[in-house]
Amino acid sequence: MRNKKIKIKPIRIKATFIIYLLVFLLLSVQLFRRMVIQGEFLGNKAERQFINEAKISPKRGSILDRNGRELAVSADVYKVNLDLLAMQEYCVRYKRTKEEVSEEISEALSIDNNKVISMLDKTDNNGRLLRGMTLERKIEKDKIDKLREIRKTKRYNFMIIENDSTRLYPNNNFLAHALGIVDLEGEGVFGLEKYYDKELMGLSGIRIAELDKNASELPYEDVVYTEAVNGKDVILTIDENIQYIAQTIADKALKDTKAKGVTIIVTNPRNGEVLAMVNKPDFNLNDPRMGIVDNERLQQLWRNKAVNDVFEPGSTFKITTISAALEEKVTFVNDDFYCNGFTIVNGTKLKCWKETGHGAEKLIDILENSCNPGFIELGRRIGQERLNKYIYDFGFGKPSGIDLTGEASGIIKPTDQMTDLDLATISFGQTDAASPIQILAALNTIMNDGIYSTPHLMKEIVGADKNGGITVSKPYEEKNQRQVISKVTSNSVAKMLEETVSKGSGKQAYIEGLGIAGKTGTAQKAKIGGKGYVEGKYIASFIGAAPYDNPKISVFVSIDEPEGEHFGGVIASPVAKELFQQIFNQMAINPVKQ
């Protein structure tokens, strides 16, 4: 039987060819899309599935006082992030419910299970489950150990455990406004923590390891590890003992005067080092919000009034006027003045605090008596342009450069806008406004042979070298030092300020043998957003340094809105006296017997 030939129709061949061709084209398109168009995306996705990448947080540097005592430190803790998409995939694969998983997590961390459950469906703006949601922070090691055991045994690889740190302040409210605080991310919010944030923070490290199909690390593979660089330590000029004295005295002054607030600053007048800085009331650095919900009230609590607030300084400003007058030689030590209780300037009657007048006076008398008419006369002789030159040279009207956040510039009447009446009021401490640190810096200039030095709190920044040894990374560098008045003028004013304390308006700050030089001030509080002054609201103040001929410390004291007595010579001077007494006892400097 002859074999029958199978006849294949050409149309079938063509159809088969076309089908194979289409399949080939589709596969080619898919390969092109996957390998070229989506290659990078899919490669990264695959890499993420088989790579475990963990951030290693650096340890924030410490803040210490000048003697190495810890004021702010960081402790090692942990944080837990959840990959919610991976968690969803895990639950589907192993037939677990999110409620079951969350219960184990919450039990290990000792947190409310409802809180955990409420976070497990969180999505991004595109509706996708979050891949790195922070579940809990500041977790202690014992809890993390429990969580790590669960992660290992249950294969909870959607849990990401990272190093974290928490900021601790061993002395609670000690130096609160100057130190400042950090946020949950460990970044400075205000104060020294903010100002030196870059130095304190350090650099993060990273750990990268390969995973197997079960998301467990491959033991034979190399781990890529970049060590974190810890932050540097900031050593302050602050003396813990002097700070403690200042805080104790400020607390007592606040209670005794029933005032709205008390501010005390202690510095070394020779170099501008801040030895203590206090604002009362203050707050606990370990609980800075203190339960306060209102943000405006909270910001007021956190304001460092020593540098952030300004006020019309009153008679403490007279040290600038008398220095300018002596330097410009428009007055001299034996110059004669007369006070009948007031002076009329452009039809406005400007009163002396002693309405009956002081009568005939010498230059030293108008300072000792804090006589307004005498200083109005000095201002008239100096003139607008020259007086403003000295005001700016003494550091008013611009930030002092102190290493704290939010420093106020102050308010100085421009020379071309200054009337004769303005000149008169400015000369005895009204119209212009200054911060406490600016006022103290001006006194320091007089006590430092006429040389201005920038007030500062950083003494040096130190870090560890490669061998673990301590090296000084950055010592403090003076940037604004300048000669404002001559040494002769400054010494003359310093001696007159000593007599102002020993014989004049500041005598309640006098301590025999200490040679305290100082000036009192009583300032009316200006109306906010309007002209004039608030009835019955005052700031009583005192500035001083000792010993006047070789000063070791200088102080600023202000008492804001005291009840009852409000004169600086009556309520601020005794506070300064107690400060000098206790600080000199601490420094083991005894009064010189006359």
Which tokens is 448 given?
């430092």
Please check whether residue 556 lies inside any domain of the structure: yes
Q: Give catalytic residue positions.
A: 315
Structure confidence at residue 405 (pLDDT): 94
Task: Give domain status of residue 81, yes or no.
Answer: yes
Beta strands in 84-176 (DSSP E): 133-139, 159-168
Type and span of the H or E element at 452: strand 451-452
The total domain count for the chain is 2
Residue 89 sits in a domain of what CATH number? 3.90.1310.10
Q: Return the exposure string of 304-318: e unless at least 16 CB atoms fall within 10 Å of the residue's CB, then b.
A: bbbbbbbbbbbbbbb
- List pLDDT tens digits, range 110-159: 888 888 888 888 888 888 888 788 888 888 888 889 888 888 888 888 88
* Claim to verify: residue 189 and residue 245 sit in the same structural domain: no
Q: Kindly give the parts of the chain with pLDDT less than 70.
A: 1-9, 33-55, 207-225, 465-468, 529-530, 592-594
Same domain, 136 and 100: yes
- Examine residue 43 and state whether it is found in any structural domain, yes or no: no
- CA nearest 501: which of 510, 512, 513, 491? 510
Are residues 274 and 232 both part of a single domain?
A: no
| DSSP-assigned states of every residue in 337-357 | EEESSEEEETTEEEE-SSTT-
> Are 200 and 251 members of one domain?
no
Are 439 and 504 in a shared domain? yes
Judge whether 161 lies within some domain. Answer: yes
* Whether 142 and 252 share a structural domain: no
Distance CA 229, CA 204 (A): 6
Residues 197 and 245 in one domain: no
Sequence-ordered list of residues with C-beta below 8 angstroms from that of 120, at least 6 positions apart, any chain? 82, 84, 87, 98, 102
96 is in which domain, residue-wise? 52-109+130-211+219-236
pLDDT of residue 526: 84
Same domain, 82 and 62: yes
CB 426 within 8 A of CB 417: no
Residue 356 is part of a domain; what is its CATH number? Answer: 3.40.710.10
The predicted pLDDT at position 1 comes to 47
Which tokens hold the place of 223? Answer: 């781990």
What's residue 61's pLDDT? 93
| Residue 120 belongs to some domain of the structure | no
Q: For residues 380 and 427, what is the distance between their CA atoms, to the nearest angstrom?
A: 9
Do the beta carbons of residue 61 and residue 233 sit within 8 Å?
A: yes
Amino acid 167: pLDDT: 92
Say whether both 468 and 382 belong to one domain: yes
Residue 336: what pLDDT?
A: 96
Tokens of 475: 């010592």
Would you say residue 123 lies in a domain?
no
In a domain, 185, yes or no: yes
Whether 255 and 270 map to the same domain: the answer is yes
Residues 152 and 277 in one domain: no
Based on the fold, state whether residues 380 and 517 are members of the same structural domain: yes
In a domain, 232, yes or no: yes
